[in-house]
C-alpha cells in the first residue's frame, strides 16, 4: 500500500493478556517510530528504529513493552500483561530519513482498550 498500515485497528484485551500490534511502514522508509496517545493528550514517543536497529527506546513506559523490527521493515509492538493504564491509541510513523527536515507519515493507529 501507499501509506503506513497498522493492525489491528481496534483491540480489546483483558487485564493481564499479552497483545501484539503490527506496523507496516512505507516501503523503503528507513526510520520507524512508535507513539502512544492517551485520551485528551498529544502523542508521546515510545521508541525509534533506524532500519532494524532500535536506536532509542527511552519512551517505553515499562519492561512490559517491547518493540522489534527484525528485517528493517515491519515492526511489532508487544505489550505483556496488559494493565488498564495501557489503554491508548498506539501510532506508528515512518520517515524516509531523519526528522530534521523530513515529515513523518503516520498510520491510523491501533486503539487498545484494556478491560
Single out the segment in contact with another protein by CB under 8 A; choices: 15-23, 68-76, 79-87, 101-109.
101-109
Q: Is 75 in the site for another protein (CB under 8 A)?
A: no
Q: Is 42 in the site for another protein (CB under 8 A)?
A: yes
Task: Outline where the chain has alpha helix (H).
Answer: none
Based on CB atoms, which residue is closest to another protein, 13 or 104?
104
Q: Is 38 in the site for another protein (CB under 8 A)?
A: no
3-state secondary structure at position 35 = strand
Q: Is 3 in the site for another protein (CB under 8 A)?
A: yes
Q: Is 65 in the site for another protein (CB under 8 A)?
A: no
Residues forming the site for another protein (CB under 8 A): 3-4, 31, 33, 35, 40-45, 48, 50, 55-56, 91, 93, 98-109
Amino acid at each position: 500500500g501507499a501509506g503506513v498500515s497498522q493492525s489491528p485497528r481496534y483491540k480489546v484485551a483483558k487485564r493481564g493478556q499479552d497483545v501484539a500490534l503490527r506496523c507496516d511502514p512505507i516501503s523503503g522508509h528507513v526510520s520507524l517510530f512508535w507513539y502512544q496517545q492517551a485520551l485528551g493528550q498529544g502523542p508521546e514517543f515510545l521508541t525509534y528504529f533506524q532500519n532494524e536497529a532500535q536506536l532509542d527506546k527511552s519512551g517505553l513506559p515499562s519492561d512490559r513493552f517491547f518493540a522489534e523490527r527484525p528485517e528493517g521493515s515491519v515492526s511489532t509492538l508487544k505489550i505483556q500483561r496488559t494493565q488498564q493504564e495501557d489503554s491508548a491509541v498506539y501510532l506508528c510513523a515512518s520517515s524516509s530519513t531523519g526528522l530534521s527536515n523530513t515529515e513523518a507519515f503516520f498510520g491510523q493507529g491501533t486503539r487498545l482498550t484494556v478491560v
